[in-house]
Amino acid sequence: MFSNHGLSDPTAEQAKLLIIAAASETCKKLLPAANAIFYPEAPRWILIVKIHNSYYNCAVKEHSSKMEVQMLKVVNTSVAIDTFAGTTRNQSKDCLKKWLNTVQCLDCVEAMKQLPSNCVDLVVTSPPYDGIRKYNGFQCDLHATGEEILRILKDGGIAVMVIQDQTKNFAKTLTSFRTIIDWCDNIGLRLFETVIYRKHGTEGAWWKYRFRVDHEYMPIFLKGARPQYFNKEPLKILSKHGGKVMTGSGNRRTDGKTTKTVTRKINKKKCRGTVWNYLMAGDKNKLKRKHPAVFPDKIPYDIIQCFCPPDGIVLDPFMGSGSTAVASKILKRNYIGFEISQEYCNLSTERIKETQMSLFD
């Protein structure tokens, strides 16, 4: 039994903090692994606490003007697990509903933990990697981010990341490659494809000593056996010789032999390859340029068209300037954004409002 003075009518949050504090008195070493679920049951506050693999029924009640916490280990573990998991699922569904089509100023890993499993169709993001741009002092845990992305993606869901590597002492950090291997080998995602985002710009700081960096990587991760939705028709590009009738050599087979020469009419459009060209990262948007690291709005626009069904949900755990949400809004998809910086959260929210006005005015 533990006591806490001064709380005659505790709120849910106060009760929850109290039980965690009580647990810390007896389980200081186990506290990092503890989880707590709260639900009110008059005339006292009842909680279930999970510490490692043990469950405890806990009561927080007022006694002689003091708040007392009583903890009793649960013998029927299956009941505790059902209650614990069921309450968690209900809370997760509430967060999903509440956060739909908003940008939340939250740490993305902690925020994603509050979403239900298998609830998101597509993730499009660009994390603040390698410290290439100052991001108001915030950093990210790409491994923990990948773990939560795998959990919340639906089977067949897709996650696309825009990423590059910093150059240090004339060599690349390989952060992009390590992240791809980690997300596939250690977390359980699969690499559907790697697309090259070809960009245009100035020579950059290394122009006298290295090649100009005119690309970024866009690894496309897949959860499950195959994409649940794939529509590449909007991504087709004009064929150089579209409409002409041309004769060309056949294809080379795996055994080294070539097929017969063919004569055929060239389609006006063809499937886009794995190098995607984009011009303006800032999209000539003064508001967007207030963010230090942006990508063209057309990137999430293209990805959403290809991989997200019309009634789907798009998540950007590093919302930044709001490009993913803007593209989602234009394409009439639902979105959820997380952004740890309040400044950038406000920025993205303002951009979304501007987009809504331009769409419906």
CA distance 320 to 127: 9
CATH superfamily ID and name for 100-229+276-360: Vaccinia Virus protein VP39 (3.40.50.150)
In sequence order, what are the residues at sequence separation of 6 or more whose Cβ sits closer than 8 angstroms to the Cβ of residue 111? 104, 317, 338
Please count the CA atoms within 13 angstroms of the CA of 344 that sit on its side-chain side: 25
Cβ(314)–Cβ(328) under 8 Å? yes
Report residue 92 as tokens. 């997760």
What are residue 105's phi and psi, to 5 degrees?
Answer: -85, 80
Q: What is the pLDDT of residues 292-345, one digit of tens each?
A: 567 889 999 999 999 999 999 999 999 988 999 999 999 999 999 999 888 888
Alpha helix segments (H runs only) across 66-141: 77-99, 108-112
Tokens 């603040």 belong to: 128
- Indicate the pLDDT class of residue 45, thresholds 50, 70 and 90: very low
Concatenated DSSP letters for 231-281?
--GGG-EE-TTTT-EEEE--PBPTTS-BPPPEEEEPPSEE---SEEE---S
pTM of the model: 0.71
Amino acid at 257: K
Is the model's pLDDT at 128 over the cut of 50?
yes
Residue 319 amino acid letter: M
Domain map of the chain by residue range?
A: 2-88, 100-229+276-360, 237-270
- Taking residues 14-30, report their average pLDDT: 47
Weakest-pLDDT range from 5-19, 78-92, 257-271: 5-19
**pLDDT band for position 261 (50/70/90)?**
confident
What gap in Å lies between CA 324 and CA 339, rounded to an integer?
A: 12
User: Cβ distance 181 to 190 under 8 Å?
Assistant: no
127, 145 Cβ separation under 8 angstroms: yes
pLDDT tens-digit series, residues 183-226 = 999 999 999 999 999 987 655 555 677 888 888 999 999 999 99
Asked if the model's pLDDT at residue 137 lies above 80, the reply is: no
**Residue-averaged pLDDT of the chain:** 77
Of 122, 50, 107, residue with least CA distance to 311: 122
Both tokens of residue 64? 């002689």
